[in-house]
């Protein structure tokens, strides 16, 4: 991995161009890795990469570049950088950019563009990248003067990380990157852009929040992805410990409070745990920490936590009272807010005992009948055996929900999933990015037979860089989540979900030069986990599971979270 991901060696003597300014600007921001795929309009930048300190990771599809940059950013906390050429290169980035936008992931997407004299003429591989991406970025730049490159990149990195993070696009016409220019003064001294300081809520708002907490008999922490984004998990854990307030988490909030913690109930929402959903419905105070009241978490919104007052704090003021009116809003740096919330007295022991009893009563069972592999039990055992180094990168479908329900997570960076966009094909590229961010972690991609085919070409990237990515492929020969919904809500009219003609995935992985094996029976699972975790290089476990297995519990569409369907 280290050898092939090393900086591109040996610079050539050549004029200093806009492309060199791009490379210098990335270096000035402390960028180490860029994920990309070359092409005509971006070729000057690739020419300038030679001899730089940047380490380029060659993916096999531009969507893989954006999703790998996403995974890198989520684990490292630094903006991920992806590069593509104009036209199809740029449009192939779009899904990954949208994914980062909806999950608030800092990203710099750099695209080549037709030379400025040809823009608007339908030139070869010309596309309005600025217009296409406008709804899914925090900001866009089209650079028309190479002298602007240092300031544009500095501003882009500042915007990507400020407040609520997200992607920023920089579109580079080819003549701009080819143009010669004097080395801009101070380009090497710009340094990483500082993150904007938040204004903090006033003492009155903090006092009002504390008063609500002290008055509550059934308070509940509702933890969202904003906690991990703000790196506020330690402050949250301290607040949770000193108050003893029970907690639930969204899909993106998993790991902010370790999943095995006392007074932590489970994920809430459509596939949330019964104890978590029932506790929300019974609560009289909901403390929303970096959560956005997403429809998958709330179910039918007007029935969500019907008896609860709301304390809502977030970095993004647009989220406050967007879907549910807040009784107290706290906008600012989450760590500082949590540290300031120090209620003097709490009379909630009966509530804690009640939540603990529900947690015990509704705990998942792993004694499924039969001799076949029971996916929830496999995933639970795998995550526990992997320990605190475990990072799961998930695709989308039934396996995604099983991971969220049954895996052990000790930190927010341990659970990488496409929450807002639901992007199939996310898992393997995100695993690649995660390993470049944290090479010593035990990174496991959990995918399905539908999802893996979306970006299976990135097996070549894994092989090229000798990445020790562990892939667990749960194969039910179905588009499992679609099949489950068709079974339950479309009168078993199974339409276009049968993947009977899947390839032999173990053989396919071996064709890419990756170790692989197949698991069919439950008795094989312990040895399979040992083999996965002890492998020094990339490895794929092709796990065949019952195509009739469903994810439970399930809140039906349009229902309240208390109206959960069970197996």
CATH no. of 18-189: 3.40.50.970
Structure tokens at 168: 């920023």
Give the three-class secondary structure for 317. Answer: helix
Cβ–Cβ under 8 Å, residues 523 and 513: no
pLDDT at 283: 98
Cα-flanking dihedrals φ and ψ of residue 304, to 5°?
-80, 125
Query: Are 203-361 and 375-544 the same fold in CATH?
Result: yes
Active-site residue, selected from the candidate residues 29, 35, 55, 62 = 62
Structure tokens at 304: 């969500």
Q: Which superfamily, per CATH, for 203-361?
A: TPP-binding domain (3.40.50.1220)
Active-site residue, selected from the candidate residues 124, 214, 489, 507 = 124
CA dist., res. 22 & res. 26, Å (int): 6
Q: At what angle do helices 398-406 and 375-386 cross, to 10 degrees?
A: 50
Cα-flanking dihedrals φ and ψ of residue 541, to 5°?
-105, 115
pLDDT at 188: 46
- Residue 481 bears catalytic tag: yes
The pLDDT tens digits for 217-236 are 999 999 999 999 999 999 99
Residue 274 contacts by C-beta under 8 Å, 6 or more apart in sequence?
Answer: 358, 362, 553, 564, 566
Cβ–Cβ under 8 Å, residues 565 and 555: yes
- Residue 453 bears catalytic tag: no
Cα-flanking dihedrals φ and ψ of residue 25, to 5°?
-65, -40
Tokens 């101070």, residue located:
186
Structure tokens at 443: 């990174």
Q: At what angle do helices 88-102 and 62-76 cross, to 10 degrees?
A: 30
pLDDT at 3: 44
Q: Which superfamily, per CATH, for 375-544?
A: Thiamin diphosphate (ThDP)-binding fold, Pyr/PP domains (3.40.50.970)
Bridging pattern class, strands 470-475 and 515-519:
unpaired
Strands (E), 116-239: 139-142, 167-173, 219-223
Q: At what angle do helices 525-534 and 375-386 cross, to 10 degrees?
A: 40
Q: What is the DSSP letter of 198?
A: P
- Residue 252 bears catalytic tag: no
What are the boundaries of each domain within the chain? 18-189, 203-361, 375-544
pLDDT at 191: 54
pLDDT at 5: 58
Give the three-class secondary structure for 521. Answer: strand
Q: Is 540 left (phi over 0), alpha (psi -120 to 50) or beta?
A: beta
Active-site residue, selected from the candidate residues 125, 200, 457, 563 = 125
The pLDDT tens digits for 368-421 are 999 999 999 999 999 999 999 999 999 999 999 999 999 999 999 999 999 999
CA angle 352, 354, 356 (to 5 degrees): 70
Write b or e for each residue in 86-111: b if 16 or more Cβ atoms lie within 10 A of its Cβ, otherwise e. Answer: bbebbbbbbbbbbbbbbbbbbbbbbb
Sheet strands side by side (includes 264-267): 264-267, 247-249, 219-223, 285-289, 309-314, 328-331
pLDDT at 552: 96
- Residue 124 bears catalytic tag: yes
List, for the chain, all residue ranges whose pLDDT scores fall below the cut of 50.
2-3, 9, 11, 188-189
CB atoms under 10 Å from CB of 184, counted, come to 18
CA dist., res. 72 & res. 32, Å (int): 11
Structure tokens at 494: 């199974």
Active-site residue, selected from the candidate residues 334, 358, 401, 481 = 481
- Choose among 197, 192, 241, 191: nearest CA to 221: 241
Active-site residue, selected from the candidate residues 174, 252, 359, 380 = 174
- Residue 125 bears catalytic tag: yes
Concatenate the DSSP letters of all residues of 479-511 into one string: -HHHHHHHHHHSTT---S-B-TT---HHHHHHH
Write down the pTM of the prediction.
0.94
Q: What share of the chain is helix, strand, coil (3-state, %, to 5)?
A: 40, 15, 40
């Amino acid at each position: 991995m280290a050898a092939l991901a090393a900086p591109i060696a040996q610079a050539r003597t050549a004029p200093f161009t806009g492309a060199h300014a791009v490379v210098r600007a990335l270096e000035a921001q402390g960028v180490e890795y860029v994920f990309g795929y070359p092409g005509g309009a971006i070729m000057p930048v690739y020419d300038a990469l030679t001899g730089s300190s940047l380490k380029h990771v060659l993916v096999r599809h531009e969507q893989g570049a954006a999703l790998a940059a996403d995974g890198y950013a989520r684990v490292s906390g630094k903006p991920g950088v992806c590069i593509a050429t104009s036209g199809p290169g740029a449009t192939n980035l779009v899904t990954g950019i949208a994914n980062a936008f909806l999950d608030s992931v800092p990203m710099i997407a750099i695209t080549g563009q037709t030379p400025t004299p040809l823009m608007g003429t339908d030139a070869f591989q010309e596309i309005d990248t600025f217009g296409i991406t406008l709804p899914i970025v925090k900001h866009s730049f089209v650079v028309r003067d190479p002298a602007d490159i240092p300031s544009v990149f500095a501003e882009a990195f500042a915007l990507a990380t400020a407040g609520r993070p997200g992607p920023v696009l920089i579109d580079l016409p080819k003549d701009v990157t080819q143009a010669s220019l004097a080395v801009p003064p101070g380009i090497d001294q710009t340094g990483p852009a500082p993150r904007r300081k938040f204004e903090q809520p006033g003492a009155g708002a903090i006092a009002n929040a504390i008063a609500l907490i002290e008055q509550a008999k059934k308070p509940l922490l509702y933890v969202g992805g904003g906690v991990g984004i703000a790196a506020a998990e330690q402050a949250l854990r301290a607040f949770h410990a000193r108050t003893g307030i029970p907690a639930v988490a969204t899909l993106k909030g998993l790991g902010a409070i370790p999943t095995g913690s006392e007074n932590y109930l489970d994920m809430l929402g459509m596939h949330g745990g019964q104890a978590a959903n029932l506790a929300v419905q019974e609560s009289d105070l909901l403390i929303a920490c970096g959560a956005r009241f997403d429809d998958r978490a709330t179910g039918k919104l007007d029935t969500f936590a019907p008896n609860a007052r709301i304390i809502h704090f977030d970095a993004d003021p647009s989220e406050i009272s967007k879907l549910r009116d807040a009784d107290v809003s706290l906008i600012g740096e989450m760590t500082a807010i949590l540290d300031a919330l120090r209620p003097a007295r709490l009379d909630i022991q009966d509530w804690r005992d009640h939540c603990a009893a529900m947690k015990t009563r509704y705990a998942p069972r792993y004694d499924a009948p039969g001799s076949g592999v029971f996916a929830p039990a496999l995933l639970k055992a795998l995550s526990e055996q992997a320990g605190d180094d475990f990072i799961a990168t998930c695709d989308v479908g039934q396996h995604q929900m099983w991971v969220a329900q049954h895996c052990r997570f000790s930190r927010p960076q341990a659970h990488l999933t496409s929450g807002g966009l639901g992007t199939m094909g996310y898992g393997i590229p995100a695993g690649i990015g995660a390993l470049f961010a944290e090479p010593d972690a035990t990174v496991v991609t959990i995918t399905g037979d539908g999802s893996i085919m979306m970006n299976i070409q990135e097996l070549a990237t894994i092989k090229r860089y000798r990445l020790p990515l562990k892939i667990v492929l749960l194969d039910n020969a179905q588009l499992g989540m679609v099949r489950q919904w068709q079974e339950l809500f479309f009168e078993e009219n199974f339409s276009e979900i049968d993947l009977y003609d899947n390839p032999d995935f173990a053989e396919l992985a071996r064709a890419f030069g990756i170790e692989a094996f197949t698991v069919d029976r439950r008795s094989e699972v312990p040895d399979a986990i040992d083999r996965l975790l002890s492998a020094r290089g990339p490895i794929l476990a092709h796990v065949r599971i019952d195509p009739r297995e469903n994810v439970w519990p399930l809140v039906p569409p349009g229902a309240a979270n208390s109206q959960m369907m069970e197996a």
